[in-house]
Amino acid sequence: MKTDELIAMLATGAGAVDAGAARRRFTLALALGGTCALVLMAVLMGVRADLARLALEPMFWTKLAYCAALAGAALALAVRMARPGARASGAASMLAAPLLVMWLLAVVALGGAAGSEREALVFGTTWRACAFSIAFLSLPLFGGLLWAMQGLAPTRPALAGAAAGVLSGAAAALIYSLHCPELGAPFLGIWYPLGMLIPAAAGALAGPRLLRW
């Protein structure tokens, strides 16, 4: 087939293109993956019984805002990574902002705590389970987001996979917040990002294999 013939073939009957395809894929992946993660959390871990009391704690809302900000920045990053030639550096620095704020809060909390309390602030009572729980809840979101990426055109597949992983981890952390009893800034600054890093690393490894086009 000559190139002219290929061009004629591609152009023939090529209808209008739906500009919202990328947005729809990401929305669907987050909605379905998020619902699955929510059900997994509610059934296997359980929503906190004292949620009403927790809702009076400013740190609880800080935790939710922290996870939501990370998820928002990761979404902006993932959407850009899915489009050829889109600039991603701004979105990447948006990802750093909530982390820096939480680390600042952690330094303040640790500075104001007596030596014996510091360990409790860092490890809480659930540090062993935290990162793995977040990584576990991220699975349906991770699968959905890789599917979304597969229908788009990431030109840097390892980074695109990692961005999908961070996003699935941050959204999973938001859901895990409804189960997690921890409110210490040092805890949230360490174990939550660690939980997001697990799917991010998996995405970086899976990207070059699964996201070729």
Q: Is the CB of 1 or the CB of 114 nearer to another protein?
A: 1
**Cβ 154 to another protein shortest distance, Å:** 9
Contacts of 41 (CB under 8 A, 6+ apart): 47, 137, 175, 176, 178, 179
Contact footprint for another protein (CB under 8 A):
1-4, 6-19, 21-22, 82-86, 152-153, 155, 212-213
Locate 9 and state its tokens: 């073939």
**Cβ 146 to another protein shortest distance, Å:** 16
C-alpha distances in Å from residue 155, one per residue of 66, 208, 213: 29, 10, 9
Q: Is the CB of 6 or the CB of 44 nearer to another protein?
A: 6
Q: Is the CB of 15 or the CB of 58 nearer to another protein?
A: 15
Over its C-alpha atoms, the chain yields an Rg (Å, rounded) of: 20
Q: Is the CB of 41 or the CB of 160 nearer to another protein?
A: 160
Q: Is the CB of 83 or the CB of 118 nearer to another protein?
A: 83
**Cβ 208 to another protein shortest distance, Å:** 10
**Cβ 5 to another protein shortest distance, Å:** 8
**Cβ 84 to another protein shortest distance, Å:** 4
Burial 133-144 (b: 16+ CB within 10 A, else e): bbbbbbbbbbbb
Residue 190 in contact with residue 167, Cβ under 8 Å?
Answer: no
In whole angstroms, give the CA distance from residue 104 to residue 110.
Answer: 10
